[in-house]
Structures are given as C-alpha cells and as structure tokens.
C-alpha cells in the first residue's frame, strides 16, 4: 500500500495525536460571541460579527455564472440579509416557520438563506434538479409556508398540492402572476429587523436526504452546527487569513451548505461560487482567476478535469492552489496519482454525510495519507466499526461504520419521523451510518460501500425507493427494483430492473420514455441510465425489495 508522508510546514492542526488526546469541542465554544453574551445566531457569527470587528469591506463571495460576475463584501451581505429578513417579516414569517429555497446558485440564494436564518426561520434547501414529485414530498412534509425560486423553476412547484404554502418569492424578472417579486420587495424595504437571537438547538435548516426506503427524510440541523464547522474549517480545510476557498458542491446538498459558505464564513474567508453546468475548462479558469488556494471537490469532478488532459491544465496558472480536498465518493488511486503528478500535491479525502453535518473521518496535512483510506476520526470524534448487534469489531473486520453519538453538528431529528431518527441510534452509544468500513491497526478507516442500497451517483445521493415508486407510476411498469451499478466515471449509476405489464414490449424507445418519466417527474440525477427487464423483482419476507439480491444482480453475481 502506498503511503504519502505528512506534509512539512505550518498547518493549523500541527499534531494529530496530541489533539486527539487534549481537544474537546467545548474549547471551540469559547470562540463564539455567544460564549460571552449568551445570544446565539449562526448568521451573526458568519457575517455580522466580521462587520462589527472591522471586516465589513472584506470580500465574502465571488460569484460567477455566465455573464454575471459579482463580488459581495461581508458588509453588503449583512445589509442584504437584513433586508430579506424584513421582507419575510412583512409577509408574516416568524421564527420556526419553514422557507424552501429552490433555485440555481446565485447571490440571492445565499442572501435568502442568511436572511431567513437571521430571523430564526428554518431553511429547506431544494436541489435545482428536483421536479414536481420530489418538491411535493419535501415541501409538503415540512409544511413550508413560503418558497424562494426563479421564474424558470416556478412552473415545477405543484402549488395545488401544497396547502400550507402561502407565498412564492421569485428572483429575477418575469415574476408570474400570484408570485411575489423578490427584487421588488427588497427595494421597498426601509427598515430592517434586529438579529433574532435563538437557542443553540434552534433549527437552522432541514435537508432532505434519501434513505434506502420510503421518501426522503428531513434531517434537522440546528444553529449549534457552527461548533463543528468552525473547527473543521480550520483543521481539516486548513483555512487561514488570505485564503480563497472554493467548494464546488451545490447548496442543495450538505457539502454546499456546510462548507460551501457557512464554515469558511465563520472564519471570515472569502468563497468562490460558480454557477452553470460543469465544464473542465471553465473550472480551471475559475481556479486561476480567483487564485483559489483551498479547493474542496469530488472525485467525479477531478476525473472530468483529468479527462480534459494535461494540455488543459498547462494553460492555467494554478500556483495558488495549496490544499485540495475531496468528498462524496471513493477517492481512487488514479485520481490521487494525477493530482500528485499534475497539481504537485496530494488530495485529502474527507468522509461524512448529511446526517453528521460536519467532516467526521479525514486526512490531515500533519499525518501520512494511506492511499485508499478515508483517514482518521476528527479529534473529539470517536468512530468504530461495529457488527449488526452494535458490538465493536477488531481491526481488519468489515462492519458498520459507526460514530459515538453526541457530536456538535449532529442532526437533531428527522422531521415528522421520530422512528426513523431512532433507527440511526438503535445500537447505543453508536450512530449507525449505513456505510460499511474496516479499520487498520493504526486506526485508519477504509470505506467499503453503502450497506443499505442508497445510491451514490457522481456524489449525489439517490434513494432507490423513490425511483422505484416513480417508475411504477408508469403504465408499462408492473414492478421496479433500483440499485447502484459501479461505474468508472460516476462511481455508480442508477440501474433499474423492471417487470413489464402485460401488453408492453421492451424497446429503446420505451427505455428513453421511462428515463424521461423519472427525469421530469422526480429529478434528472435520479433517472436510470440502464434498464434490464426481469420476470420478477426479489422481495424480502415482509414484501420489500430485497436490496441484497439487486446488489448481486448489478455486480453480475449469481447471474441467472
């Protein structure tokens, strides 16, 4: 096994072993203003505080998308967020109400998030690829009273099926009849409300994440998430004054929320946000143009840049890049070798999930990287590999990757579904992640795939049951079973096994139609890339799809 030695030089985290022994999260709490004042709001710590301490003219956000290029200082963000809080207040939104944010990356998205949280309103981020059904499930489940969107996405909102939804704020021109103009309302604000102080346990956002069965679950994160974000931004991402940080994840997913803006802003570090579709050339141009020094991305993106060839990289000055991190899917040897050879540095893998809220098992600059390992638990975090009864397994044995419950950024509930929440904690004191892993003698962890059938395509989480129920709405489909099939570029692709209804025959046209059906009904990234017709779908004793057999099917095991 290849080992990449610890990097020499000054790092924020200097000695991992010592930090493991001495560090506790309470020491981080002392860094927040609320430690002294008792007044809590993450927006104050991420934005207002920097302004009050004289950093109002520092850039917080470099935004670029197509023709649009804008810079926002912390001062400007503070002002705009306060105005949006005033708009929400005018429309009667109060602390604890839920506000959906369903739009492509734009400054207005971040302003809406901050403005809501400033008022104690709970944000429900919705990935821009979601279609009517996914939106109905999520907005309906949390009873959102308002949504921020764009005129392009507005028609996807199934308004008639969302009785609790009272207002839709539309960003940009062409505000549809019945909707509220976001910009117009912002321009009318004359007075802004003060920061709403909340408890540390007050909900900040509800993020819907797919599980193995049923509908997506609303993971509730609270303002206290800041404790985990600040210290990982410093020790894992190694952020310090002068850095320009680019996390490429979309704010519809946990990475794009936690590290896309909250974590770096807690340290007053400017972030780059790039809109539009992925394009290897544009991404290299962005790294060079903004002199990105710390870059957080995913293996699929690295592979796409890799396939652009050395010639692409050689045209850009990437000399400012000093720390690269990866998340979401296994970081393969080929990507690591490419980075070492072409970017002159390793990539630091980080393992965590929507439920954990913060980086959990990571690689650090002061520690050797063992190729193929997701690294070591963050100081203050205890991780283990446990069997199906919750008993700890020795090194080398594959089992459930588990985390000792009670870390600061932990999700606090599954909205409307306490039983689902309890299920994660069924083996006290452990949180059971759903991932398989083993540990070596030195305590390094090795990710071994999902245990529960959740699909990870290009780092995006897809719930097989949601895709199955969508497919089964189509008249041609009697029964569907969906699984992730290993794929060189995307990690996994969505593969659907289907049983046809009488009178239907299989054809490429039907495959295309089913694909489109999922794409337009649920979400583009959830649409199966491969289909296979079967006589029947394997079921477990209690009538659920047997994910273990599907897994064998996609891997081509026991092919019958």
Residues forming contacts to ligand 6R9 in the complex (CB under 6 A) are 209, 253-255, 327-330, 349-354, 374, 433-435, 447, 450, 456, 459, 461
What's 45's DSSP letter?
I
CB of 48 to ligand 6R9, least distance (A): 28
Could you give the 3-state DSSP secondary structure of residue 222? strand
Exposure of 352 in the CB half-sphere (CA atoms within 13 A): 29
Output 22 or 440, the one with its CB closest to ligand 6R9: 440
Output 118 or 485, the one with its CB closest to ligand 6R9: 485
Output 154 or 445, the one with its CB closest to ligand 6R9: 445
Output 150 or 350, the one with its CB closest to ligand 6R9: 350
CB of 459 to ligand 6R9, least distance (A): 6
CB of 374 to ligand 6R9, least distance (A): 5
**Rounded Cα distance, 390 and 406, in Å:** 17
Q: Which two tokens stand for residue 77?
A: 């963000």
Pairing verdict, β 271-274 and 59-65: parallel
CB of 460 to ligand 6R9, least distance (A): 7
Q: Which two tokens stand for residue 153?
A: 């996405």
Distance from chain centroid for Cα 78: 24
Output 255 or 400, the one with its CB closest to ligand 6R9: 255
Q: Do the beta carbons of residue 196 and residue 95 sit within 8 Å?
A: yes
The CA angle 37-261-340, to the nearest 5 degrees, is 125
Output 254 or 384, the one with its CB closest to ligand 6R9: 254
Long-range contacts of 377-382 (CB under 8 A, 24+ apart): 377/403, 377/443, 377/445, 378/232, 378/235, 378/236, 379/13, 379/16, 379/19, 379/20, 379/23, 379/235, 380/23, 380/24, 380/25, 380/231, 380/407, 381/407
Exposure of 345 in the CB half-sphere (CA atoms within 13 A): 18
CB of 371 to ligand 6R9, least distance (A): 13
Output 202 or 450, the one with its CB closest to ligand 6R9: 450
**Rounded Cα distance, 319 and 343, in Å:** 9
**Rounded Cα distance, 28 and 429, in Å:** 23
CB of 260 to ligand 6R9, least distance (A): 11
In three-state form (DSSP H/G/I as H, E/B as E, the rest C), the secondary structure along 385-430 is EECCCCCECCCCCCEEEEEECCCCCCCCEECCCHHHHHHHCCCCCE
Output 29 or 213, the one with its CB closest to ligand 6R9: 213
Output 330 or 408, the one with its CB closest to ligand 6R9: 330
Angle between helix 464-472 and 132-142 (nearest 10) = 120
Pairing verdict, β 491-500 and 68-73: unpaired
**Rounded Cα distance, 338 and 343, in Å:** 7
Label residues 87-122 b or e (16+ Cβ within 10 Å = b).
Answer: bbbeeebeeebbbbbbbbbbbbbbbbbbbbbbbbbb
CB of 258 to ligand 6R9, least distance (A): 8
Output 308 or 434, the one with its CB closest to ligand 6R9: 434
Output 331 or 537, the one with its CB closest to ligand 6R9: 331
**Rounded Cα distance, 226 and 31, in Å:** 11
Pairing verdict, β 294-297 and 245-247: parallel
Output 115 or 357, the one with its CB closest to ligand 6R9: 357
CB of 332 to ligand 6R9, least distance (A): 10
**Rounded Cα distance, 73 and 51, in Å:** 9
CB of 391 to ligand 6R9, least distance (A): 21
CB of 54 to ligand 6R9, least distance (A): 34
CB of 289 to ligand 6R9, least distance (A): 27
CB of 214 to ligand 6R9, least distance (A): 16
């Amino acid at each position: 096994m290849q080992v990449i030695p610890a990097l020499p030089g000054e790092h924020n985290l200097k000695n991992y072993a010592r930090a493991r022994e001495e560090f506790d999260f309470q020491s981080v709490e002392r860094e927040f203003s609320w430690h002294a004042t008792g007044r809590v709001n993450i927006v104050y710590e991420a934005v207002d505080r920097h302004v009050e301490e004289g950093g109002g003219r520092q850039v917080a956000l470099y935004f670029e998308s197509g023709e649009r290029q804008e810079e926002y200082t912390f001062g400007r963000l503070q002002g705009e967020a306060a105005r949006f809080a005033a708009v929400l207040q005018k429309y009667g939104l109060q602390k604890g109400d839920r506000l959906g944010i369903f739009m492509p990356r734009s400054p207005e998205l971040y302003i809406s998030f901050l403005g809501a949280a400033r008022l104690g309103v709970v944000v429900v981020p919705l990935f821009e690829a979601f279609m009517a059904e996914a939106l109905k499930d999520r907005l309906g489940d949390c009873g959102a009273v308002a949504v921020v969107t764009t005129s392009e996405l507005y028609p996807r909102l199934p308004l008639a099926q969302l009785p609790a939804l009272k207002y839709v704020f539309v960003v940009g021109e062409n505000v549809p009849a019945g909707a509220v103009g976001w910009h117009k309302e912002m321009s009318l604000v004359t007075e802004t409300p003060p920061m709403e102080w909340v408890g540390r346990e007050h909900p900040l956002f509800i993020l819907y994440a797919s599980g193995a069965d049923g509908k997506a679950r609303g993971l509730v994160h609270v303002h206290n998430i800041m404790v985990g974000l600040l210290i990982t931004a410093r020790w894992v991402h190694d952020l310090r004054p002068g850095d320009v940080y680019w996390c490429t994840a979309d704010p519809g997913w946990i990475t794009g929320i936690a590290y896309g803006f909250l974590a770096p802003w807690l340290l007053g570090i400017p972030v780059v946000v790039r809109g539009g579709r992925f394009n290897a050339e544009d991404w290299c141009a962005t790294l060079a143009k903004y002199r990105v020094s710390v870059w957080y991305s995913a293996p699929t993106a690295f592979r796409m840049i890799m396939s652009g060839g050395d010639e692409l990289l050689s045209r850009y000055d990437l000399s400012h890049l000093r720390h690269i991190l990866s998340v979401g899917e296994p970081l393969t040897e080929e990507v690591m070798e490419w980075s070492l050879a072409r970017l002159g540095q390793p990539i630091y893998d980080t393992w965590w999930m929507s439920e954990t809220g913060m980086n959990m098992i990571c690689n650090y600059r002061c520690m050797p990287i063992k190729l193929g390992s997701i690294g070591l638990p963050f100081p203050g975090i205890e991780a283990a590999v446990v069997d199906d009864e919750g008993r700890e397994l020795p090194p080398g044995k594959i089992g459930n990757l588990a985390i000792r419950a009670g870390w600061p950024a932990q999700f606090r509930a599954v909205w409307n579904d306490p039983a689902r929440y309890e299920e994660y904690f069924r083996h006290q004191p452990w949180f059971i992640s759903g991932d398989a892993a083993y540990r070596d003698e030195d305590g390094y962890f090795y990710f071994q795939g999902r245990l529960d059938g959740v699909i990870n395509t290009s780092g995006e989480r897809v719930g097989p049951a949601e895709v199955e129920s969508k497919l089964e709405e189509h008249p041609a489909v009697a029964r569907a079973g969906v699984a992730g099939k290993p794929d060189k570029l995307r990690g996994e692709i969505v593969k659907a096994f289907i049983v046809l209804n009488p009178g239907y025959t299989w054809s490429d046209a039907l495959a295309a139609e089913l694909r489109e059906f999922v794409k337009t009904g649920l979400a583009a990234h959830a649409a199966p890339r491969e289909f296979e017709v079967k006589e029947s779908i394997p079921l477990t004793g209690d009538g659920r799809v047997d994910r273990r057999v599907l897994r064998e099917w996609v891997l081509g095991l026991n092919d019958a």
